[in-house]
């Protein structure tokens, strides 16, 4: 299992299966990451991986429409497009 910590939700921490979609876990466990479309279009699920960015998968083209190179360097991702393979902490 991997541990996902929702820093902007009082540090709520939940377990998930490896390669889980970050937004799906957030919805299921009431993690609190904001979202609208769930499909990479609206940009609402923009969030920052504060720890464990190395445990996230490759940045998708859909994310690049909403996130600059600098955003990506700082650890921003779009939760609905991000899968996690290890422990991460996320804020938004």
* Rounded Cα gap, residues 84 and 92, in angstroms: 17
CB of 25 to ligand FES, least distance (A): 13
Cβ atoms of 18 and 2 closer than 8 Å: yes
The CA distance from 24 to 2, in Å, is 14
Min. distance of Cβ 67 from ligand FES in angstroms? Answer: 11
Residues that bind ligand FES in the complex, under the rule CB under 6 A: 35-38, 40-45, 78, 80
At its nearest, how many Å lie between ligand FES and the CB of residue 51? 21
């Amino acid at each position: 299992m991997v541990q996902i910590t929702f820093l902007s939700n009082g540090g709520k921490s939940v377990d998930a299966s490896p390669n889980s979609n970050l937004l799906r876990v957030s919805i299921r466990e009431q993690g609190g990451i904001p979202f609208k479309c769930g499909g990479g279009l609206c940009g609402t699920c923009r969030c920052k991986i504060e720890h464990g960015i190395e445990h996230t998968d490759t940045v998708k083209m859909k994310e690049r429409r909403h996130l600059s190179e600098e955003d990506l360097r700082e650890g921003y991702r779009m939760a609905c497009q991000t899968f996690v393979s290890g422990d991460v902490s996320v804020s938004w």
